[in-house]
Structure 1
Amino acid sequence: MEEICAKMDKILLEYLSLISALQEQWKQISTNLGSGFFQLAHARYTMGPHRLNQNQYDGRMQAITRVLISQKKDTDILNTQSEFICHYTLTTLEEITDDPKDNDSSSLRRRMIKDPENDIAKKQSKSRVIEDPLRWFGILVPSTLRESQRHFKQSLSGMVNIINLRNEIINKEAEYKLLKKEKEKFMEENRAKHANSMKDI
C-alpha cells in the first residue's frame, strides 16, 4: 500500500511539473508570435507593401523543416499494458536526406553528390539546395524581417515541444488512473478480509 501511494505521489509531482512546463511554453510561443508579427509589420512598412507580399513568393518553394514522428512502446505503466507514444522532432530537410539510416540507394546518391567529377551528382546537389525564403524579397533585406523569421522559427519549435509535453501529460494521467484503481482494489480486499475475520470471531 505504501509503495502504491509513493508511486502516486511521484507521478503527481511529475504531472504538475509537466503542466508548469506547458504553461511556460505557451507564454514563450505567445511572446515569439507577437514579436514575429510586429517585426513583420515593421519590415513591411520599411520595404513597402509592393515588395513584401504574396506576389513575391517563389512558386517552387519547399518546406525548410519537417516534423519527424517516432513511436516508442511504453511498458512502464505497472507492467500491465503497453502503449505506443508518439514523439515529434523538428528537423531540417538536409538532416532528413542525410540520415545515415537511409537505404543503400540513398547512400549511393549521397556518394554521387559528394563526387565533384560527376555531372549528374552536381545536378542532384543543386536540386537539393533549398534557398532561404528571405532571398525572395531581395538580398539586402532589413534586419526586422530576419528577426521576424527567427521569432516564427522559435514559435514552431515551441509548438512541437508543446505536443510532446501534452503526450507526456496524457501518459502520466493514464499511469495515475491505473495506480488509483490498484489502490482501490487493494483497499477492497483488505475490507473483505477484515469483514471475514469479524465473522469468525
Structure 2
Amino acid sequence: MLYIFDLGNVIVDIDFNRVMGVWSDYSRVPLANLQKSFVMGDAFKRHERGQITDEEFAAAVCDEMGMALSFDQFSAGWQAIFVGLRPEVIAVMNKLREQGHRVVVLSNTNRLHTYFWPGEYPQIAEAADKIYLSQEMGMRKPDVEIYQKLLETEGFSANEAVFFDDNADNVKGAQQLGITSILVTGKDTVPGYFAKNL
C-alpha cells in the first residue's frame, strides 16, 4: 500500500496565530487587524506552486495586510508557524515502512518554509520514502493533477493508496480519484485509524 501524509497539522503542528504575533510585534499593526486581513489568496497559492519568488510573495502579503516589514522580519514571522513534531505520527510512518509499505509526504508548502522545517525536524525525511512539495511540482492540493502525478510517479493505483490531510477540500480532491482519504481533525486521528487498520 501507499500511505500519503500531509505535513501541517498531520505530522507537524502549525499555528498561523504565531505568524501574526511576530508580524504584529515587528509592524506595530494590532494582532486583531492582521488576523482579519490575512487570506490565502492568489499570491499565497502562486507561491505554493513555485510561480513567484519568496520576495514577491512577502511584498504581496505585506501590501495586502498593510504591514511595513523587511524581508527578514517577514521571514521570521513566516517560520514561526511551526509548533512541534507529532511523534506518534512519525512512529506510525516508521512502522508502516517496516511492514513493507510505501510512505510519502505530500505538502502544500513554499520555499521559505523549506529553509526551516527539514533541518528542524529531520525525523520527517527519515520516516518517509519520499517528500512531494507543491512548489517543486508546480501544482497544489486540492487540484486533482497533483494526486495523479504522485500516483503515477509512485506506480500505485488510487485504490492502493490512503491519504491523510487536515483540510477537507484536499481530502475531497483525493477522493475524486478514488483514493481512501482521511480528514485529520486532531492528534488522535492517525494513531486511531491505524489502531483499527493495522
User: TM-score with structure 2 length normalisation?
Assistant: 0.23
Q: Which has the larger radius of gyration?
A: 1
Higher strand share: 2
User: TM-score with structure 1 length normalisation?
Assistant: 0.23
